């Protein structure tokens, strides 16, 4: 018999498995509110116009070849990605203190960063928010880091547990790594205010805690790329060091192209170049070099001011549509007189609403109303449209009454 006969069947991924279940449901009224992927008002995936234009330019360029790109990726892409998150006038850029490496989207950037830290950083404990993106603990554990949690979400207020956050980070061993969602916290949709970010920064710098920012939704939370980068820029402005994982999956709609970047901001240009040389030793035996196509699209858009402006317009349209879904769902629930305070639906930001519905209520909504969402009660607002809001509101009403 097979040498793999002892291999057990693994469970479906808690987030991506929702789409598998959705696809298997023949119901005409089913709605997929699971994976964080943008859908249009017609419920279809969206390829941005500016992405189509950039792709056309690339395809029509006869000089383009399919040679290997460097281990660290396309250099234009790396420079432009650093500028996007740090700001063109960032001291880290003007003093060449940041190294940026093109990685396989956000997940790949997190993994490469974690593997680098495991080998080269003196602390191997990483504090991550409670709750956080389901894949975070797996990425960091598999990289050999030990995962601890810090309080982040307060179910009672459905807001930030700022006191708990400060206590837990205050109790962390000095030098510990801390994962921070740059904006649009997944799954809660709750972000610190700029005053709270400043307090977090002071506490972390006083204990030499190492920030590892995860920026998967820049531009999606507020609709502005600069506003959504403020948390990162606040830290970098103080001259301290940090890591930043960037994803273009959502804000440029490049999900399947796997386009992202890992930036490591260091104290000096010399350290940054040594760090880059060691990150290359992580990447080469992992996947050798990243894919050329998606990063070429991003570089084409970011280096042209016209295309960059067109991108910001389309990005704001996506963010605005998600905001209008929040407003419509909130009003639909109010109209039904559904018991409870549902104002968090319009207070939370980014792609997700953390409804507060429990596992049983979620199962009920899936079974009776064909609503597909993660079992922690998170719904992707990007999966909603004006046509499907009433059906979701009916399901939520039935689930809580």
Residues annotated as part of the active site: 133, 214, 250
Whichever of 187 and 223 has its CB closer to ligand CBA, that residue is 187
Q: Coil, strand or helix: which one is 264?
A: strand
Q: Which two tokens stand for residue 306?
A: 């016209």
Query: Which residues, in sequence order, are CB contacts of 7 under 8 Å at separation 6+?
Result: none
Around 311, how many Cα atoms within 13 Å sit in the side-chain half-sphere? Answer: 27
Least distance from ligand CBA to the Cβ atom of residue 157, Å? 22
Ranges of beta strands (E only) in 175-303 are 177-181, 210-215, 242-247, 259-265
Least distance from ligand CBA to the Cβ atom of residue 374, Å? 8
Residues in the chain: 401
Cβ(232)–Cβ(183) under 8 Å? no
Least distance from ligand CBA to the Cβ atom of residue 40, Å? 17
Least distance from ligand CBA to the Cβ atom of residue 20, Å? 13
Q: Which two tokens stand for residue 331?
A: 């009003």
SS3 content of the chain, % helix, strand, coil (to 5): 45, 15, 40
Q: Which two tokens stand for residue 366?
A: 């899936």
Q: CA–CA separation, 185 vs 191, rounded Å?
A: 6
Least distance from ligand CBA to the Cβ atom of residue 339, Å? 29
Please report, for residues 93, 242, 254, 310, 374, the alpha-carbon distance to residue 305 in angstroms, rounded to integers and kept in the order given: 19, 29, 20, 9, 39
Residues near ligand CBA (CB under 6 A) are 15, 35-36, 105-107, 133, 135, 181, 186, 214, 216, 247, 249, 260
Please report, for residues 13, 250, 319, the alpha-carbon distance to residue 375 in angstroms, rounded to integers and kept in the order given: 11, 22, 25
* Triad 373, 326, 15: Cα angle to 5°: 20
Whichever of 90 and 188 has its CB closer to ligand CBA, that residue is 188
Q: Which two tokens stand for residue 23?
A: 């696809």
Whichever of 15 and 299 has its CB closer to ligand CBA, that residue is 15
Least distance from ligand CBA to the Cβ atom of residue 184, Å? 8
Q: CA–CA separation, 59 vs 80, rounded Å?
A: 21
Please identify the residue of the shown chain whose CB is closest to the bound ligand CBA: 36
Cβ(85)–Cβ(263) under 8 Å? yes
Whichever of 80 and 272 has its CB closer to ligand CBA, that residue is 80
């Amino acid at each position: 018999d097979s040498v793999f006969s002892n291999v057990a069947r693994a469970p479906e991924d808690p987030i991506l498995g929702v789409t598998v279940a959705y696809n298997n449901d023949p119901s005409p009224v089913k709605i997929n509110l699971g994976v964080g992927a943008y859908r249009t008002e017609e419920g279809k995936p969206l390829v941005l116009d500016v992405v189509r234009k950039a792709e056309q330019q690339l395809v029509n360029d006869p000089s383009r070849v399919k040679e290997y790109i460097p281990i660290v990726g396309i250099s234009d892409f790396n420079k432009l990605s650093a500028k996007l998150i740090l700001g063109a006038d960032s001291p880290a850029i003007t003093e060449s203190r940041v190294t940026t490496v093109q990685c396989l989207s956000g997940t790949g950037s997190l993994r490469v960063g974690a593997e680098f830290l495991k080998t080269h950083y003196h602390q191997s404990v990483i504090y991550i928010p409670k709750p956080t993106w389901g894949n975070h603990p797996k990425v960091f554990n598999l990289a050999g880091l030990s995962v601890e949690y810090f309080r982040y979400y307060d179910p009672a207020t459905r807001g930030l547990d700022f006191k708990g956050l400060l206590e837990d980070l205050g109790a962390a061993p000095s030098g510990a790594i801390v994962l921070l969602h740059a904006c649009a916290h997944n799954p809660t949709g709750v972000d610190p205010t700029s005053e709270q970010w400043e307090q977090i920064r002071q506490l972390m710098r006083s204990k030499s805690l190492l920030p590892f920012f995860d920026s998967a939704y820049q531009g999606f939370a507020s609709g502005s790329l600069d506003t959504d980068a403020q948390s990162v820029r606040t830290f970098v402005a103080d001259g301290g060091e940090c890591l930043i994982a960037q994803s273009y999956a959502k804000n440029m709609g490049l999900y399947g192209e796997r386009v992202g970047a890992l930036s490591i901001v260091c104290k000096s240009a010399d350290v940054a170049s040594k760090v880059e040389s060691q990150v290359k030793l992580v990447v080469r035996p992992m996947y050798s070099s990243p894919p050329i196509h998606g990063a070429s699209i991003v570089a084409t858009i970011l280096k042209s001011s016209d295309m960059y402006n067109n991108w910001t317009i389309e990005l704001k349209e996506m963010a605005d549509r998600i905001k209008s879904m929040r407003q419509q769902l909130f009003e639909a629930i109010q109209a039904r007189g559904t018991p409870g305070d549902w104002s968090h639906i319009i207070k939370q930001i980014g792609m997700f609403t953390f409804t507060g519905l429990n596992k049983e209520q979620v199962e009920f909504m899936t079974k009776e109303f064909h609503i597909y969402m993660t079992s922690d009660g998170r719904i992707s607002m990007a999966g909603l449209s004006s046509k499907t809001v009433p059906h979701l509101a009916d399901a939520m009403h039935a689930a809580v009454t």
